[in-house]
Chain A
Amino acid sequence: MTCAEFQRVLPEIIEAGGNAEQEGHLSSCPVCSDLVQDLRYIAEQAKLLVPMVDPSPRVWDGINDALEREGLVRPRKGTGRFRTATVLVPSRWSSVGGLVALAAVLVIAIGLLSYRRSTTTEGRPLQIAQAQVSPATAADSDADDDAKLIAHIKQTSPAMASTYDENLKSVNSYIAAVRSRLRDDPEDEQAREYLVRAYDQKAMVYAMAMERTLE
């Protein structure tokens, strides 16, 4: 089983587990294993999100539409899963903390979506220039989320704000360099693997910042 075949059935695997062949691929492929780990992590973190920061329905619709376009969720008539999603969060979270948490999930989701978009669709290479969400849009969104995160750290742990700021910049440089490589050669398997690793780094920075600011 190839990575492309595996990733086409990823939603089912995340929801219900895979068959023997899929499990076999999962255990032998570090790229897909990391991807599944990231998505499960996002799902776990999403459970912690806030009701008090209830985003506009347009946000959920946008995510849902993007996931449907990617084939990560099946189109559903009427109310999609995100439209009816209920998000729970500890009451001690501040609204800013909630926004940061939401931003973290979104930035990782956007990153992974962009990753999928920049790699393959139906097993064929896809030019990033053809993507419905451009890298520039994703980068703008990332920068906005990063700014919110740093602003929140400045409030809660001022001494660490510059450290997080510098390290987020390092990780963003990493992501940008790999993206550039992928634009030059969308079939570069090695670069795809680096991109997953780079987003792992970003996810870790967000996770650690959130843990710190919520304590």
Chain B
Amino acid sequence: MAAVGILCAVALAADTKEFRYNVGPNSSVTVINEFGPVNVKGIPGHQVLITAKLHSNKVEVDAGQMGDRIDVTSHQLARGSESDAAVEYEISVPPDTSVTVRAPSGPITAQHLWADVVVEGDAAKIDVRDVRNAHVHARTVTGPITLANIVNGHVEVTSVNGDVQLTNVDGRKVSVNTTKGNIRYAGDFGSGGSYMLVNYSGDIEVTMPSTASVDLSARSVNGKVEQDFPLQQKVHPSFTIDSSRSFAGTSNSGASSVRLRSFSGKIRVKKQ
């Protein structure tokens, strides 16, 4: 049943606006905010609630609903400082809402969601947690990215210089690609997942419990590798092992494939 959106824009104060929309299942919300934080949280219900705190009268918020799609954009009305142009967003959505946020300065947080999450920010610090059954795409130029407690996700993380921290990220496909950013993974790898962590010159560090069931390979072209986790060596590894630059092996039944690749960074795998 198509949901009918009801807009209720209320000026709570001179610089704060509130928008409420009723939505049906599987709606989507897109937020574009040049300066300032965007925090999105899934809460049960059928309503999207957006609270926008404007830092000055040099910026406005343009929000609208088309069916179950809601678009929110901050517009600069006049040239001013970054501080003048900033808008702080607090957004609550039904958990099955797909969320897209582009906030170059950030920070961006998203949590308690069961639908796709796309977050982008040049220098934005990104934090996505408690998301399940969803595509999670996060990308930055320099901003650090943290993902935690992702269940059954299809995860793609890309950053040039931002560090990436993943904790208990479980999914069929998990891909992290950075140029200089360090990549850290902590926790289990779930079952049946395919993990690919790649960078150019940053370090890659994986910390996992002894119960982790992985088929793991680590290769660095010019960097070193360190292994402090007991792996059973494979009889027929898919590449020639050079102990200073690569290793491969399985733990338990090898349920998830984990590939760690760095061109010139150091790779370390250790026990939690």
A-side residues, CB < 8 A to B, are 30, 157, 159-160, 163-164, 166-167, 170-171, 173-174, 177-178, 181, 190-191, 193-194, 197-198, 200-201, 204-205, 208, 211-212, 215
Contact = CB atoms under 8 A, between A and B. Distances in A.
Interface of B: 32, 34, 82, 102, 104, 120, 122-123, 139, 141-142, 158, 160-161, 175, 177-180, 196, 198, 200-201, 219, 221, 239, 261, 263-264
Contacts of A171: 160, 179
Given A160-B122, A190-B219, A191-B221, A201 B177 contact: yes
A128 to B, nearest CB: 18
A208 B158 CA distance: 11
A190 B123 contact: no
When A and B form their complex, which 7 residue pairs have the shortest distance between CB atoms, in order from nearest? A174-B200, A167-B160, A170-B179, A174-B179, A167-B141, A197-B198, A201-B179
A198 B261 CA distance: 13
Contacts of A181: 221
Given A159-B82, A170-B179, A208-B122, 13 more contacts: A160-B104, A163-B142, A167-B179, A170-B200, A177-B263, A190-B221, A191-B221, A194-B198, A194-B263, A197-B177, A211-B102, A212-B104, A212-B122
Nearest to B219: A190
A167 B104 CA distance: 15
Contacts, number: 73
A170 B221 CA distance: 18
Contact of B261 (A160, A193, A201): A193
A190 B139 CA distance: 24
Contact of B141 (A178, A194, A205, A215): A205
A215 B32 contact: yes
Nearest to B259: A30
A105 B201 CA distance: 26
B81 to A, nearest CB: 10
B141 A174 contact: no
Nearest to A194: B263
A163 B141 contact: yes
Contact of A163 (B34, B122, B196): B122
Given A191-B221, A201-B160, A208 B261 contact: no
Contacts of B34: 215
B139 A204 contact: yes
A174 B178 CA distance: 10
B161 A170 contact: yes
Contacts of A193: 261
